[in-house]
Chain A
Amino acid sequence: DGGITQSPKYLFRKEGQNVTLSCEQNLNHDAMYWYRQDPGQGLRLIYYSQIVNDFQKGDIAEGYSVSREKKESFPLTVTSAQKNPTAFYLCASRNGLAASSYNEQFFGPGTRLTVL
């Protein structure tokens, strides 16, 4: 079955540590995205990538880093510079840039990160 997987489902981090969240898709989608979700805030874009070896900052990129070495993988690192990292993180992918009738965005199941 095609889809997006994220791991781990739950992650605990001590202050000062970097952690990496995994996102893999087998949908052969070009574009991949990372969102952060806090209660009452909706989904806010952290980083996005439209092609391998290229990515851009979203609205709240400070304290995060990404890589896109393979089409199917888009890991997110939450660095110690992120002051309030406790949140629900969602990865998504989409088939290309051109909006069309069927160009929906698919989401992974999410990773809940808690800073201890």
Chain B
Amino acid sequence: QQPVQSPQAVILREGEDAVINCSSSKALYSVHWYRQKHGEAPVFLMILLKGGEQKGHEKISASFNEKKQQSSLYLTASQLSYSGTYFCGTERNYGGSQGNLIFGKGTKLSVKP
């Protein structure tokens, strides 16, 4: 039930755009996005809830397609500081998951000057 992220890695030049996808085989209640720098804690970016509500970041946007059970993270006009590994965390309905986040394996993003 671990969500599948794609691509596994991407290399960009500054100013280019990127899309990171997160797909689940189970119906989802919410999707959380995090960015992690090497050796550091993951940092919160976005929450997307069933029903369309979201909390996010100024220069990063995301979508959540409940029917397709997938979410996409859009990074526009990338900056060097965007480099890191991006994780999606998926939350199922409260039948047995108790609100736990199940994380994908991550997408490594490298932004070059």
Q: Do A and B come from one complex?
A: yes
Residues of B within 8 A of A21 (CB): none
Residues of A within 8 A of B102 (CB): 45
Please tell me which one of the listed residues A31, A42, A48, A105 contacts residue B32 in the complex, with CB atoms under 8 A apart.
A105
Chain A's interface: helix, strand, loop or mixed, by majority?
strand
Residues of A within 8 A of B103 (CB): 35, 42-44
CB of B98 within 8 A of CB of A97, answer yes
CB of A43 within 8 A of CB of B99, answer no
Residues of B within 8 A of A17 (CB): none
Residues of B within 8 A of A66 (CB): none
Binds A, one of B11-19, B36-44, B58-66, B70-78: B36-44
Q: Does A18 contact B (CB under 8 A)?
A: no
Q: A31-B99, A33-B100, A42-B87 are in contact. Are A109 and B41 (CB under 8 A)?
A: yes
Q: A97-B94, A104-B47, A104-B55 are in contact. Are A42 and B2 (CB under 8 A)?
A: yes
Q: A107-B41, A110-B40 are in contact. Are A101 and B98 (CB under 8 A)?
A: no
Give bound CA distance, A102 to B49, whole Å: 10
Give bound CA distance, A62 to B113, whole Å: 44
Q: What are 25 residue pairs bridging A and B, where the CB atoms are less than 8 Å apart in the complex?
A: A31-B99, A35-B103, A40-B105, A41-B105, A43-B42, A45-B102, A48-B98, A48-B100, A50-B99, A88-B39, A90-B42, A94-B99, A97-B99, A98-B99, A99-B29, A99-B30, A99-B99, A101-B47, A101-B53, A101-B54, A101-B55, A105-B32, A107-B34, A107-B41, A108-B41
